[in-house]
Structure 1
Amino acid sequence: MIASELLGIAAIPGGGELKLMRRVGSNGATDYMIVLGGNELMNSRMRGSEEALAEMTLAKLGDRAPHILIGGYGMGFTLRKALSLLGPDALVTVAELVPEILDWARGPMAALTGDGLDDPRVQIAHGDVGFLISSGQGRYDAILLDVDNGPDGLVRDENNRLYSKTGLAEARAALRPGGVLAIWSAAPDAVFTNRLRRARFQVEEVVVRARENGKGPRHVIWFATRA
C-alpha cells in the first residue's frame, strides 16, 4: 500500500481541521486529497462531478456573461470548468472560508490550479458563503455550493443553515429570476429534495459520475431554479 504524505493542516473556523495529503503512485502519478477526520472531502482523481456542477448549471442559464457565486474553492475544478465556458464579461465570485485552501492552491497544488485564481473575471471573498447569500438580494444568476459532502453541515455545524428552510429562502432571494441554485452531494437525499420544492424552487436531481471518464462513484447534483 502506498503511503500518503501530509502536506498541510488548516483550522476550520468554529472547530475541526482539514488536512492536505499527497500520494504518488507506482506509475509516478500524483494524487491530492483534502481530508476531514475520516472523511475524504475531495480527491484530485475525482473531478468529473465537480466539473459537471459548473457545466450543467451554465447550460441551464444559457448566458455567457452571468454573475455566479461558487462556495467553496476546494481544488478549483468547478471554477476552472466555469471559466472555460464563460465569456469575457462574466463575473465569478469564489467564497472560501479557510485561507489555507487558497494557499495550497497556489503552493503544492499549483499545477492543478493553473491561472484560475488570477483570472480577471474572478473575485475572491474570504469568508462564509452563507453571508454572501444572505446579503445577495437578486445579485446572482447562479449559486454553486460544494462546501460539504451533502446537504448537511459536515465541515462545520454552521453550514446546516445553508440547507435549512431559512437558508434556502435566502438563496432564492439572492438569485435573479430564472437563476439556479446548484448543490453537490455524495449521495441522494429525498428529504432535502422535498425541502427544495417547499422553498418554491423548480427542482431537478441529476446523478453524475465522479470521474471524467464516466466511471467512479455516483454523486448527486440538485438544480433548483427560481422560476
Structure 2
Amino acid sequence: MTEYTEVARAESERGEVVLRRRRSEHAADVLELRVNGVFVMDTQETSTEEALAANALALVEDPRDVVVGGLGLGFTVQRLLADPRVERVAVVEVEEALVGWMRDGTVPHGPAVLADRRVQLVTADLVTAVAEATRTYDLVLLDVDNGPGYLVHDANAEVYDAPFLTEVHALLDPGGVLVVWSADRSPALQATLRTVFGDCTEQALDVDLQGREESYYLYAARRA
C-alpha cells in the first residue's frame, strides 16, 4: 500500500505546485514534485536528470559555463557541480516556491546544492531569461517540463519551437551544445533542432517508474 502526504503547496499565475511524500512498505520515503496535478519528477528515479548533465558534459571539452533551464529537485545541477571543469551554473526556474523549498530544506538535499558558490539562480521565465542574456555559454540544458509531448504548461510549447531554439543557438559558444530532456520520443523536436543546428542526435534512456519500464529521451545539438 502506498500513502501520500502533502509536504508543501504553492499557487502562482501558472497554477499549483505541490511537493508530496510517497510512502510504501517496501521502499524508503520519496518526494514527488507535481505541477497542476501532473507528475514532474521524484527523488527515487533520478538517473535521467543526472544523465542529462553527464551526457552533456561528455560532449564539450571545457564546459566552464552552463545554463540549466528548470531547477526541478536539483539532481541535474548536482551532477554538473560534481565536474571540476564547471565554473558557473546559471539555473533558470520560474517557480519561486520551488526555489524556496530547495533553499530552506523542505527538499532536504536542496540547501547543499544551492550553497555551491558556482550556482547562480535566476527566478524568471526561461524564454525571457534567454532573450535578456548578455553572455554566451558552453552548455545549455533544458528540462523545463516533461518535453514537447507532455507539457506542464501550454506556454512551454514555445521552448521547443524554432524561434526560441534559434536564440539558444546564439547563446552558445562555437562548439557549444544544447541538450533537451523529453519524457517521450519527439521526431518533431529532433527535426526542428536539425533545422536550427544542422544536426541532432537522439538517445533513449531506460527507466523504472514504480515498477513500470519506460524510456525517456535526450536530444543533443551542437553549434558549429
* Fold similarity call, TM over 0.5: yes
Amino acid at match of 2:90: T
Which residue number corresponds to residue 20 of structure 1? 19
> 1:85 Cα deviation (Å)?
1.3
1:161 is matched with 158
Could you tell which deviates more after superposition, 132-141 or 199-208? 132-141
Where has structure 1 moved over 6 Å in runs of 4 or more? Answer: none
Counterpart-to-counterpart distance in 1, 2:213 and 2:80 = 22
> 1:117 is matched with which residue?
114
Aligned twin of 1:76:
74
Q: TM-score, normalised by structure 2?
A: 0.90
Cα distance in 2 for residues equivalent to 1:80 and 1:46: 15
Q: Equivalents in 2 of 1:47, 1:210: separation in Å?
A: 9
Q: List runs of 5+ in structure 1 lacking aligned partners.
A: none
- How big is each residue's C-alpha offset from its partner over 1:28-61, in whole Å with a ceiling of 9 and x where there is no partner? 6110111134421101111000000000001101
How many pairs are equivalent? 221
CA drift of 1:186 comes to: 0.5
Higher RCO (C-alpha 8 Å, min separation 6)? 1
Asked if structure 2 preserves the Cα contact closer than 8 Å seen for 1:196 and 1:224, the reply is yes
CA spacing shift, 1:100–1:11, aligned 2, 3 Å: same
Q: Counterpart in 2 of 1:86?
A: 84
| TM-score after normalising by structure 1 | 0.89
Q: Is the 8 A contact 2:36 2:152 kept in 1?
A: no
Greater fraction strand: 2
- Deviation digits for residues 116-140 of structure 1 (CA, Å, limit 9, x no counterpart): 1010111111111222222336511
1:133–1:210 CA distance, 2 compared to 1 (3 A): farther
Query: 1:146-197 deviations in whole A, cap 9, x for unaligned?
Result: 1110126822233222111111111101111111111100000111111111
- Identity across matched positions, percent: 31
Structure 2 letter corresponding to 1:62: E
CA distance in 1, matches of 2:198, 2:100: 36
* 1:29 match: secondary structure: strand
**Cα displacement (A) at 1:84:** 0.4
Specify every segment of 5 or more residues in structure 2 that has no aligned partner in the other structure, as ranges: none
Q: Which amino acid aligns with 1:165?
A: A
1:180-218 Cα shifts (integer Å, max 9, x gaps): 11110000011111111111342111111336xxx9421
